[in-house]
Amino acid sequence: MFRYNMYLILSVLTLFLYSCDQHSESEEPYAEVETVYLNGSILTMKGVSPEYVECIAIAEGEIVYVGDEPEVAETFPQAEIVDLQGKTMLPGFIDAHCHFAGFPAQGVGAKILPPPDATVDSIDELVRVLKEWATPENIELTGWIFGMGLDDSVIRPVKVMGVQDDMQPQSVMPTKDDLDRVSMEYPVIAIHISGHLAVVNSKGLEELGIDENTADPPGGKIRRVLGTMEPNGVLEELAIIPKMAEIVNPSTPEAAKVFLDSGIELALSYGYTTVQEGRAFLTSHQFLSSAAEYNQLPMDVVSYIDYSCDSLLLSDWYSDSYKNNYRIGGVKLTLDGSPQGRTAWCSHPYLIPPDGESAEYSGYPVIANDSIVKGIYDKCYKNNWQILTHCNGDAAMDQMIRTLSPVVEKYGVADRRTVLIHGQYIRKDQLAPFDSMNVIASLFPMHTYYWGDWHRQLIGDSLVQFISPTRAVLERGMRLTIHSDSPVALPNMMRLVGTAVNRTSRSGRIVGPDQRLTPYEALKCITEWSAYQHFEEDMKGTIEVGKVADLVVLDQNPLKVPVESIEDITVTHTIKEGKVIYTSLPENR
């Protein structure tokens, strides 16, 4: 099937949508009418302890009053009054790290996430869900049968009679033979929940031009059928990541509209008013900038460009202010892979190596040459570009420390707000050098729920207790944020807060109880502290006079429900610059 260039698709799409755009430049400016919100728990997120106010007033997309109810009636006698009916209002949610360009595919594709987000916990269920999704209309969207969220840590193999349980594998990764059961006619891809590997069927390998003669690319691996060079369908890191955007690529303007609408709806339903594209390549930047050109983005989107495409930082999109809700914020560097996918680079072997690997296997670097990594940091610091670095394994963080340290010494710390992304297997001794370089730690405590049990098998119980060590970071005085990394998981910000507070695995095991955050600290991570990470603390992150009226309304107060119930809280309204851009309440739709 002929596949259009994404930029051309979005150009055609947005021209089509321009006439019905509700956010176009020709729209009338905000009316001179104030809106007052009252009669709820309005949590400002200012300060070290919770602060509530009785009401706030909004005019021209800005917060113009924060205080007591009697005073607002006198100050704004003509205001529209909105009764919160006891619900909770906070600043709009800001994800410190996710991949918004992947939200559309997560929203549109087959739902292959494991429970509780979907149903796939076996190969048979994976095959069933993909086949059920594979209608002619869905296949026509991209030419592929696809789904995002495959989690091999919960896919149990068929037990072999007569083999002891301690000799049975605890989980299994599907192969091309399994996906061939979905289709032999169409290419099929099941993208791993980490986003760092995928499985394709035989037709998919053919489409990608991968066979027994194809060598592993630098920074990637093609898994093979045991004892042969025949690909088994599993592709890791740079063997598949650069091709994912081409595969999950709308084939028509109509398909592009379906994708964009689905991704936006997903983000707004979880209270996002600012969302990140955490590793933008040319195609994903074109997708987002084209949507922005014609005002199709109702919330702010900030992109961090993969270092290989850093020439985009010379464009007008690189700015500290948004153009139609989009901007480039800096550079993204990835030094290793995924711990749950066993491609993270560690200083110790995995206790369960991937199929075909030896007992000494400890993952691998994306860029093995330190001088190349140092050169990337040097270029960013020389140009004063903010840089976010993906590291999951402690060996990758060692590489970050030894290559970044001389660059910081050369240029100074300044206010660059360099960020460590994920830091799953960080060691205690690595906190000090990160602190000395003024690195912000953006950690991913959702791992404790989704993969806490799996990590315990991979690295052992003692090491897993320090995974995503949010408390240790705070106690050291470092800046902290937490993130969803969606579409690795659903962009459910209340589950993110709940996991940071509870650190309970799927099996109910507590993973690092001494690393828990309080509910208020977890909320700070997705409001004020994440605004700071993005250089936006002067305009976002707290409810204060003069800040943008980016707000979220929840059906319950995260500070007043049992902590185990936080993840069940739902978003009733998402408000961007004073406008309600999402509501879950049927009567308001």
CATH number at residue 181: 3.10.310.70
- Angstrom distances, CA of residue 258 to CA of 18, 19, 105, 137, 262: 16, 18, 10, 12, 6
Q: How many angstroms separate the CA atoms of 81 and 72, rounded?
A: 10
Residues in the chain: 589
Query: Does 387 score more than 90 pLDDT?
Result: yes
460, 492, 517 — which closes off a domain?
517
The winner for highest mean pLDDT among 34-38, 401-405, 484-488 is: 401-405
Q: Does residue 79 form part of some domain?
A: no
Q: Which of 91-95, 156-160, 313-317, 413-417 has the lowest mean pLDDT?
A: 156-160
What is the per-residue pLDDT for 50? 98
What is the per-residue pLDDT for 193? 85
Quick: pLDDT tens for 103-150.
Answer: 988 889 999 998 888 999 999 999 999 999 999 999 999 999 999 989
Give yes or no: residues 387 and 506 share one domain. Answer: yes
Q: Which amino acid is at 336?
A: D
Label residue 461 by pLDDT band (50, 70, 90): confident
Which residue do the tokens 């991209």 mark? 142
Smallest Cα–Cα separation from 534: which of 316, 284, 320? 320
Give yes or no: residues 225 and 358 share one domain. Answer: no
Q: Which amino acid is at 453?
A: D
Sheet holding 419-422, edge to edge: 93-94, 272-280, 300-306, 326-334, 386-391, 419-422, 440-443, 480-482
Question: What are the structure tokens assigned to 378, written together?
Answer: 């040097």
Query: Does 6 score more than 70 pLDDT?
Result: no
Q: Does residue 59 form part of some domain?
A: no
Tell me what the mean pLDDT of segment 357-386 comes to: 97
How many helices (H) and strands (E) the chain has is answered by 20, 22
What is the per-residue pLDDT for 30? 33
Give yes or no: residues 346 and 452 share one domain. Answer: yes
DSSP states of 370-382 as a string? HHHHHHHHHHHHH
Which one has a higher pLDDT value, 543 or 284?
Answer: 543
Label residue 21 by pLDDT band (50, 70, 90): very low
Quick: pLDDT tens for 312-334.
Answer: 999 999 999 999 999 999 999 99
Give yes or no: residues 343 and 228 share one domain. Answer: no
Q: How many angstroms separate the CA atoms of 501 and 513, rounded?
A: 9
3-state secondary structure 491-545: CCHHHHHHHHHHCECCCCCECCHHHCCCHHHHHHHCCHHHHHHCCCCCCCCCCCC
Question: How many CB atoms are closer than 10 A to CB 227?
Answer: 7
> Where residue 408 sits, what CATH number does that domain have?
3.20.20.140
**Phi, psi for 293 (deg, rounded to 5):** -55, -35
What is the per-residue pLDDT for 107? 87
Q: How many angstroms separate the CA atoms of 395 and 404, rounded?
A: 14
Query: Does 501 score more than 90 pLDDT?
Result: yes
What is the per-residue pLDDT for 18? 32
Q: Does residue 253 form part of some domain?
A: no
- Angstrom distances, CA of residue 191 to CA of 142, 229, 262: 15, 22, 18
Give yes or no: residues 366 and 224 share one domain. Answer: no
Q: Does residue 345 form part of some domain?
A: yes
456, 491, 517 — which closes off a domain?
517
Taken in order 143, 148, 152, 156, is the CA torsion positive or negative?
A: negative
* Secondary structure element (H or E) that encloses residue 57, with its range: strand 52-59
Give yes or no: residues 506 and 368 share one domain. Answer: yes
Tell me what the mean pLDDT of segment 529-541 comes to: 98
Count of domains forming the chain: 2
Tell me what the mean pLDDT of segment 3-29 comes to: 35
What is the per-residue pLDDT for 72? 87
What is the per-residue pLDDT for 354? 87
Quick: pLDDT tens for 145-195.
Answer: 999 989 888 887 754 444 344 433 456 899 999 999 999 999 999 999 888
Q: Which of 3-7, 159-163, 315-319, 495-499 has the lowest mean pLDDT?
A: 3-7
Quick: pLDDT tens for 187-216.
Answer: 999 999 888 899 999 999 999 999 999 999
Q: Does residue 546 form part of some domain?
A: no
Q: Does residue 216 form part of some domain?
A: yes
What is the per-residue pLDDT for 587? 59
Give me the domain span that covers residue 147: 99-247
487, 517, 547 — which closes off a domain?
517
Quick: pLDDT tens for 549-589.
Answer: 999 999 999 999 999 999 999 999 999 999 999 999 875 54
pTM of the complete model: 0.85
What is the per-residue pLDDT for 588? 54
Q: Does residue 499 form part of some domain?
A: yes
Question: What are the structure tokens assigned to 508, written together?
Answer: 């109910």
What is the per-residue pLDDT for 7? 32
Which residue do the tokens 């009252």 mark? 38
Q: Is the preceding omega at residue 487 within 30 degrees of 0, hence cis?
A: yes
Tell me what the mean pLDDT of segment 363-370 comes to: 96
**Phi, psi for 148 (deg, rounded to 5):** -125, 135
Smallest Cα–Cα separation from 505: which of 580, 461, 446? 446
Give yes or no: residues 242 and 345 share one domain. Answer: no
Tell me what the mean pLDDT of segment 273-290 comes to: 93
State the average pLDDT for the chain.
90
Quick: pLDDT tens for 422-434.
Answer: 999 999 999 999 9
What is the per-residue pLDDT for 280? 93
